A and B are shown apart, each in its own frame.
Chain A
Amino acid sequence: MLLFRGRRERLGTAVRQAADTGFTVLDRRLPAAEAAKVLLRKAFPDHWSFLLGELALYSFVVLVLTGSWLTLFFDPGTREIVYHGSYTPLQGLPVSVAYDSTLHISFDVRGGLLVRQMHHWAALFFLSAIGVHLLRVFFTGAFRRPREINWMIGVTLFLLALLEGFCGYSLPDDLLSGTGLRTANSIVLSIPVAGTYLSYLFWGGSFPGHVLNGRLYILHVLFLPGALIALVAAHLVLVFYLKHTQWGGPGRTNRTVTGRPLFPHFTAKSTGLLCMVAGVMAVLGALAQINPVWEYGPYRADQVSTNAQPDWYVGFLEGALRLMPPWETRAAGHTVMWNVLLPAVVLPGLLFTLLYGYPVFERWVTGERGESHLCDRPRDNPTRTGLGVAAVVAYAVLLLAGGNDVVAFSFHLSVNALTWLLRVLVVLGPVAAFLATKRLCLALQTHERHVLEEGEETGVVRQSVYGGLEPQRAEVRIDRRYRFLVRDLPRPAPPPERAAPRRVRLRAALSRWYFARREELPTTPEQRRHIEEALAEPERRRS
Chain B
Amino acid sequence: MRKSPTVLTHNHDTEPWVRFSLLLRRLSPILAVICLLLLWAWISERELISHILVPPPGDVYRAFVGALADGVLAKHAFVTLQEMLYGLLLGVGIGLAVGYAIAKLPLLEYILAPIIVGFQSTPIVAYAPLLVIWFGSGPASKVVTTAVIVFFPTLVNTIVGIRGVSPKLRDLMRSLKAGRWRTFRHLEAPSALPVILAGLKTSTTLAVIGAVVGEFVSQGSGLGYLVTAARNLYDTPLVIVAVLTMTTISLCLYGLVALVEWRFLVWQRRSNI
**A, B bound:** no
| B-binding residues in A (CB < 8 A) | none
